[in-house]
Amino acid sequence: MPPSQIPDRLPRIPWFSRAPLLARSHQIVLTFTRHGLGFLLTGLSEQRALPRHGLSEIFKRASHRQASQLRQALEELGPTFIKMGQALSARSDLLPEAYVDELSKLLDEVPPTPFDEMKAVLEAELGRPIHELYGSFDPLPLASASIGQVYAATLKNQQQVVVKIIRPGAKEAFERDLEILTDIADWATQHTLIGQHYNLRALVDEFAYTVLNEFDYFLEGRNADTFRKNFYDDPQITVPRVYWDLTTHRVITMERVYGIKINDLPALDAAGINRRVVAENLMHFALRQIFEFGLYHADPHSGNFFVQPDGSLAVMDFGMVGRLNPQTKKTFLGIAMAIQRNDSAMLADEFLSAGIYTRGVDRRAFIRDLDRLFERFTTGSLSEISGIQVFKATMSIILRHGLQLPSELVAMTRAITVAEGTGLLLYPGFDMFRFAAPYVTRFWAEERSPHRLTPRLGQAALDSLELGIELPRRLARLLEMLERGQVEVNVNLQILREITAQMQKMTNRLALAMILSAVIIALALVMVIYHPATWQALGEIIFFLAFISSLAFGGWLIWSILRSGRT
């Protein structure tokens, strides 16, 4: 999401209401510990140096079985953590493949809230009794998720619709858990190297922004209207209509669309629908929304697509959408063109320009690994393999080089690969690269067409002219500041601090060794020279205690040196 749209901080819960937070925090810790996931806590708190491959290395050190334990723990902790796991399942640039695959199995399904409670919310929002608003209303929900429930109804004119209602108390429960996640991210940022190098707070804020937006059905309605406008003249895509007179922030009424679920292969075959056409229509939808409109469906699971008798698609559920700024859209187009050309240098530059965390990335080694990727997967053209294979292999390289990509870039890639995965399920011979090549080439040419470049050139000329006019004045101010000694230079001293800390440890050990040696020599001299009357009994005790202490300190010193060497 655009940084400007992410709040600086979630609303803080008052101090007198934080007791439930402490109880919930205790429950979270116990749940993770009971599932054998203590490494998630100790792995973050005990890192004295950043692992070479970053956050993923902490997960890889754990057993493979613990990926399943993580999924079970998130399911036990409830809706907020299930949604967080679903969000993390799209971050292949942060987590190993085993965890991504396991988290992808999380389902946001909960027991339904009684109809009387949901009816009370609807009538309070729309201001009239339900029988005055709808011609009929089925009290049994079509679907029940953590945020809301979906019901079938008809309007007074017998138009069939679906009505989504937000569960009472659901938002408050999410905000409580988001507050805890925010505190954890803040603690990790202040006390761990992982938290300092990976912007965990930004990840939590972005997750919070996305989830809290799902509680605003007015926003979902606007998203649906935008998609409907974008694909209005596209016969391959249908977007249901929103009935705004029966829509508020907590209730939304939309046209009901019918069809066969896109993953119901027997039903598609029984209806005589060409599955290859369906696969191509799905990829057509994915490519247009990303490359042409810069607005994409961020929850592209099979339940949100219904196939019509002619093979076209009806798309629904626009609570989670992603918006691309022109630069991100251009970067993704460059990545697609680099893969199409088998150009590893171009692909590396696009990834590095988009990366959030690039400290220590070796560009030459990065390009070499991408070259090996192309060599491994190609015998002439990338069209001979699937995009999912390329995506997983590329994300593995990105993990290895410690590169954290913007979430919208990963989400876009996931939208494309999910569409391809469904396409391969529908038609095993579906070739994403061959199908997408004309789209990529067309959008690449449009991005560089005169009508796109002319406004940018004009704006660049105006900016250059303005800079030329302002430059003498700015140089004069800079020279005045230099003369007055007001120029400050900010230097990142993190590496220097680490080196200083290591030197301090070395100095402390050297000083301790010298003191230990002096004590041993002093004891020997005292034993030889100093002999008072009562020395025999007292001296043996003193010497014994000093000798044991010297052995203990010496052993501790040797152990600390060996331990630092292993680290």
DSSP per position, 343-362: -HHHHHHHHHHH-SB-TT--
CA distance 466 to 429: 56
Asked whether the beta carbons of 152 and 244 are under 8 A apart, the reply is no
The residue type found at 309 is P
Looking at the structure of the chain, the number of domains it has is 4
Task: Tell me, yes or no, whether 447 and 543 share the same domain.
Answer: no
Q: Which is nearest to 303 in space by CA: 424, 145, 122?
A: 145
Asked whether the beta carbons of 230 and 289 are under 8 A apart, the reply is yes
| Residue 368 lies inside a defined structural domain of this protein | yes
| Residue 458 lies inside a defined structural domain of this protein | yes
Task: Tell me, yes or no, whether 415 and 306 share the same domain.
Answer: yes
Asked whether the beta carbons of 336 and 439 are under 8 A apart, the reply is no
CA distance 30 to 35: 9
Q: Which is nearest to 274 in space by CA: 239, 324, 326, 309?
A: 309
Task: Tell me, yes or no, whether 431 and 359 share the same domain.
Answer: yes
Task: Tell me, yes or no, whether 318 and 462 share the same domain.
Answer: yes
Asked whether the beta carbons of 339 and 351 are under 8 A apart, the reply is no
Asked whether the beta carbons of 54 and 198 are under 8 A apart, the reply is yes
Q: What per-residue confidence (pLDDT) applies to 565?
A: 52
Task: Tell me, yes or no, whether 273 and 155 share the same domain.
Answer: no
Task: Reduce the secondary structure of 541-563 to three states and give it as a string.
Answer: HHHHHHHHHHHHHHHHHHHHHHH
| Residue 21 lies inside a defined structural domain of this protein | yes
| Residue 183 lies inside a defined structural domain of this protein | yes
CA distance 45 to 195: 10
Asked whether the beta carbons of 246 and 133 are under 8 A apart, the reply is yes
Task: Tell me, yes or no, whether 372 and 416 share the same domain.
Answer: yes
Task: Tell me, yes or no, whether 321 and 251 share the same domain.
Answer: no
Count the Cβ atoms, other than its own, within 10 Å of residue 497. 10
CA distance 310 to 295: 26
Count the Cβ atoms, other than its own, within 10 Å of residue 340. 17
Q: What per-residue confidence (pLDDT) applies to 144?
A: 86
Last residue of a domain, one of 200, 232, 256: 256
Query: Which residue stretches of 46-192 are H helix?
Result: 55-60, 65-77, 79-88, 97-103, 115-126, 130-133, 170-191
| Residue 306 lies inside a defined structural domain of this protein | yes
The residue type found at 544 is F
Task: Tell me, yes or no, whether 416 and 293 share the same domain.
Answer: yes
Q: What per-residue confidence (pLDDT) applies to 359?
A: 55
pLDDT digit of tens for each residue in the chain (567 aa)?
A: 343 343 444 444 443 445 566 777 778 878 888 877 765 555 454 444 444 444 555 555 555 567 788 888 888 888 888 888 877 776 665 677 777 778 877 776 778 899 999 999 999 999 999 999 999 999 999 988 888 899 999 999 999 999 999 999 888 888 888 888 888 778 777 766 566 566 677 778 878 888 888 899 999 999 999 999 999 999 999 999 999 999 999 999 999 998 998 888 999 999 999 999 999 999 999 888 888 888 888 777 777 899 999 999 999 888 888 888 777 788 888 888 888 787 888 888 888 777 655 456 777 888 888 888 777 766 544 445 667 777 777 777 877 777 767 777 777 777 787 788 888 888 888 888 888 888 888 877 777 666 666 666 677 777 777 777 877 877 877 777 777 776 676 665 555 666 776 777 777 767 777 777 777 777 667 666 666 555 566 666 666 777 777 777 777 767 766 666 544
Per residue in 161-176, is it b (16+ CB within 10 Å) or e — as a string?
bbbbbbbeebbeebbb
Task: Tell me, yes or no, whether 461 and 407 share the same domain.
Answer: yes
Asked whether the beta carbons of 312 and 238 are under 8 A apart, the reply is yes
Task: Tell me, yes or no, whether 54 and 136 share the same domain.
Answer: no
CA distance 408 to 287: 15
Q: Which is nearest to 215 in space by CA: 343, 357, 83, 74?
A: 83
Cα angle 171-172-177, degrees, rounded to a multiple of 5 = 100
Q: What is the largest CA-CA distance in the chain?
A: 116
Q: What per-residue confidence (pLDDT) applies to 312?
A: 93
For residue 143, the SS3 value is: strand
Query: Which residue stretches of 427-493 are H helix?
Result: 432-447, 450-484
Burial class (CB in 10 A: 0-12, 13-18, 19+), 509: middle
Asked whether the beta carbons of 529 and 541 are under 8 A apart, the reply is no
Structure tokens at 520: 């041993």
Count the Cβ atoms, other than its own, within 10 Å of residue 301. 15
Structure tokens at 96: 């190993």
**Residue 98 CA from chain centroid, whole number:** 16
Tokens 């300190």 belong to residue: 553
Asked whether the beta carbons of 106 and 71 are under 8 A apart, the reply is yes
Q: What per-residue confidence (pLDDT) applies to 2?
A: 41
| Residue 547 lies inside a defined structural domain of this protein | yes
CA distance 215 to 210: 9
Residue ranges making up the domain that contains 158: 109-168+216-256
| Residue 499 lies inside a defined structural domain of this protein | no
Task: Tell me, yes or no, whether 389 and 338 share the same domain.
Answer: yes
Last residue of a domain, one of 197, 227, 256: 256
Cα angle 32-36-37, degrees, rounded to a multiple of 5 = 50
Q: What per-residue confidence (pLDDT) applies to 273?
A: 92
Task: Tell me, yes or no, whether 142 and 288 share the same domain.
Answer: no
Last residue of a domain, one of 461, 476, 491: 476
Residue 151's CATH number: 3.30.200.20
CA distance 319 to 298: 9
Q: What per-residue confidence (pLDDT) applies to 245?
A: 94
CA distance 70 to 368: 34
Burial class (CB in 10 A: 0-12, 13-18, 19+), 263: middle
Q: What per-residue confidence (pLDDT) applies to 297?
A: 86
Cβ neighbours for 552, distance < 8 A, ≥ 6 positions apart? none
Asked whether the beta carbons of 103 and 85 are under 8 A apart, the reply is yes
Q: How many residues does the chain have?
A: 567
- Packed helices 326-341 and 344-354: angle between N→C axes, nearest 10 degrees: 160
**Residue 416 CA from chain centroid, whole number:** 16
| Residue 546 lies inside a defined structural domain of this protein | yes
- Structural element, H or E, at residue 307: strand 305-307
Instruction: Tell me what percent of the chain is helix, strand and coil, each rounded to the nearest 5.
Output: 65, 5, 30
CA distance 162 to 255: 6
Cβ neighbours for 316, distance < 8 A, ≥ 6 positions apart? 239, 240, 254, 257, 304, 305, 306
For the chain, what is the radius of gyration of the CA atoms? Answer: 31
